[in-house]
């Protein structure tokens, strides 16, 4: 279940020390380049595996060391690989993180360092060691991958009702509307998730005549939306998730236990077209939102303060 899936964040504690140690080495002057690469290639040393999604699918893994001239600061990251980015509504090209990016350099089995996106991640969008979560180095948060195992279990309200049993205590808001022959639900969460604190935005759909009306499917790849969010603690900036194509945008800060009452967020979601945007805004207004006050519209983008 989705909430059980969140609880595996606790299991990632064992990875945190390794992640931070690797981060300190990889992001220090010289990083994974220059003399360090030369040392790694010295006789008698172990060669690091670098694996890309394409290599994984079409050819045997090649054991190489990816030479670098230095770790590029996040603000000066080079452009994404030549693979075509996902086309976002409104003409913007926004990459689906964990979807078309390469795995990166293998740290341990099932965990890779992706220098391009500054992520510690798992293979095939499945999350580190297939637990469904990656680590965003730039923003310092754990986050859900694109194709975690939890995506197979959809969503039911009972997931939220049962979450306190496993020390997941949050506030949530569900916005429901109809669009393109489907019942849609965009849900927001913020609060404590075991030994982490953070926020989420999830997209779910179901058929109007579904035999299980209380159950929603996780959005398909075709129904993903471009999203971003800024999260605040006690009114001060806490962390952000950059704009990306996703169905479950999340951020969790390890080792912080914070009441949802101290957290706020603004999330920006790009709708597919004006019809979808208007349906979503109407549903927000039914929840008490006022356009121009706590809900802002810019083209197909809708920003929600919560």
> pLDDT tens digits for 243-273?
999 999 999 999 999 999 999 999 999 999 9
Which pLDDT score, from 0 to 100, does residue 103 have?
A: 77
* Residues of the chain under the 70 pLDDT cut: 1-102
Alpha carbons within 13 angstroms on the beta-carbon side of residue 253 total 21
d(CA 275, CA 221): 20
Which pLDDT score, from 0 to 100, does residue 104 have?
A: 85
Place of tokens 């991640």: 121
In DSSP notation, the chain reads: -HHHHHHGGGGGHHHHHHHHHHHHHHTSTTTTSTHHHHHHTSTTSPPPPEE-HHHHHHSPPP------SSPPPGGGPPPPPSSPPPBPGGG-B---TTTSS--EEEEETTEEEETTTTEEE-GGGS-GGGSSEEEETTTTEEEE-SS-GGGGG-B-HHHHHHGGGGTEEEEEEEEEEEETTEEEEEEEEEEEETTEEEEEEEEEEE-TT-SSTT-BEEPPGGG-EEEEEEEEETTEEEEEEEEEEESEEEEEEET----GGGEEEEEEEE-SSHHHHHHHHHHHHHTT--BTTTEEEETTEEEEE-
> pLDDT tens digits for 69-88?
333 343 443 343 343 444 44
Which pLDDT score, from 0 to 100, does residue 96 have?
A: 52
Threshold 0.75, pTM exceeds: no
């Amino acid at each position: 279940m989705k909430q059980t899936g969140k609880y595996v964040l606790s299991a990632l504690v064992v990875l945190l020390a390794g992640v931070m140690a690797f981060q300190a080495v990889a992001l220090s002057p010289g990083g994974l380049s220059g003399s360090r690469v030369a040392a790694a290639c010295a006789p008698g040393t172990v060669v690091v595996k670098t694996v890309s999604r394409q290599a994984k699918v079409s050819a045997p893994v090649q054991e190489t060391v990816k030479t670098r001239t230095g770790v590029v600061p996040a603000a000066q990251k080079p452009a994404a690989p030549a693979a075509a980015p996902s086309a976002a509504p409104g003409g913007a090209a926004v990459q689906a993180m964990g979807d078309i990016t390469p795995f990166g350099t293998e740290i341990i089995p099932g965990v890779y360092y992706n220098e391009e996106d500054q992520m510690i991640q798992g293979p095939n969008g499945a999350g580190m060691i297939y637990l469904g979560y990656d680590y965003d180095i730039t923003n310092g948060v754990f986050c859900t991958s694109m194709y975690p195992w939890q995506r197979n279990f959809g969503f039911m309200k009972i997931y939220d009702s049962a979450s306190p049993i496993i020390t997941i205590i949050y506030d949530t808001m569900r916005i429901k509307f109809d669009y393109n022959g489907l019942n849609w639900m965009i849900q927001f969460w913020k609060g404590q998730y075991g030994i982490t604190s953070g926020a989420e935005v999830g997209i779910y759909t179901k058929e109007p005549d579904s035999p299980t009306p209380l159950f929603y499917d996780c959005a398909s790849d075709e129904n993903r939306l471009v999203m971003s969010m800024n999260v605040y603690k006690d009114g001060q900036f806490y962390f952000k998730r950059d704009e990306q194509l996703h169905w479950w945008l999340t951020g969790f800060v390890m080792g912080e236990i914070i009441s949802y009452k101290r957290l706020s967020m603004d999330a920006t979601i790009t709708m597919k077209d004006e019809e979808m945007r208007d349906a979503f805004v109407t549903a927000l207004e039914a929840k008490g939102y006022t356009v121009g006050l706590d809900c802002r519209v810019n083209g197909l983008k809708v920003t929600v303060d919560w």
